Structure 1
């Protein structure tokens, strides 16, 4: 290896060829390991990475970095603060969607009523020449 990874530089040690940190904490981004080290500790991060399958290590290193950044920015809530804000946004969006769906349903109900009222007005206008309606009354008896 030509250079040490950020973890080995931070801990002032020689970076071996099988260094668990080398693929995930490059030397050109020392802040990445510094964040993770500050929250979790270097040896704990190394142990976590060794305990998971190699194909998941990059995702785990990215997750540890993201969570460490959030914990540094918001020591009280960390990632939970972001999750809470997202749940709040989802809830507000669902409420807005329900409101809009209700408005659409009300408008759909009003359109047929308006059509019926306009048809009634047309019939009334057509019959306005007649002053009185006369209905034939028939009584039907059923056995």
Structure 2
């Protein structure tokens, strides 16, 4: 007997047969585990099919094959139509959702970093943007200087667009494309 001490392996115990020394199931379904782990595999695939499969697999890879077969058998019992494919699909959807969140976070981080960069040469930019009454000449009325305060506001999208150098998205650079899209959305 392959399991030692005269007791059959879990698979042979489930099948109610004598466990031979060359039993392909003995290394993977011990007597102490009992027949329960093998029951799902036998129910879904059949002992004969699993035996043939394990004999074709190299001995070094049999343990991984038994784990995969057992996982698939449990998944087939839970979901007879899709098996583990339903779980794989759910994980792929979760990965896609998380990747979208990461890209959105990177785009937001890129915008935040761009807002923290100092302007290239603010005195030259302001002089070219401001109208005559706000370009440093003091006007007589205090109201005219108040009318121009919005032009110096760094949160104004037009002012931000002129100060921030525009990066070109490289082919395949999703972060650059998202950054450009976010800038266009802010301008609207």
Q: TM above 0.5, one fold?
A: yes
- Match of 1:71? 76
- In 1, Cα distance between the equivalents of 2:67 and 2:137? 84
- Match of 1:102? 107
- Match of 1:21? 25
Aligned length: 124
- Match of 1:8? 12
- Match of 1:138? none
- In 1, Cα distance between the equivalents of 2:109 and 2:44? 50
Q: Deviations for 1:54-88, whole angstroms, at most 9, x for unmatched residues?
A: 11111111110011011111212211011101100
Aligned-pair CA distance for 1:27: 2.0
List alignment gaps of at least 5 residues for structure 2: 127-135, 140-188
- Match of 1:141? none
- In 2, Cα distance between the equivalents of 1:31 and 1:11? 11
SS across alignment from 1:108: helix
Q: Deviations for 1:99-135, whole angstroms, at most 9, x for unmatched residues?
A: 00110111122123xx44xx66xx9xxxxx9737xxx
- In 2, Cα distance between the equivalents of 1:28 and 1:41? 22
Question: Would you say 1:62 and 2:64 are equivalent positions?
Answer: no
- Match of 1:85? 90
- Match of 2:45? 40
- In 2, Cα distance between the equivalents of 1:37 and 1:130? 91
Q: What value does the CA root-mean-square deviation take over the aligned residues?
A: 2.4
TM-score, length-scaled by structure 2: 0.60
- Match of 1:131? 138
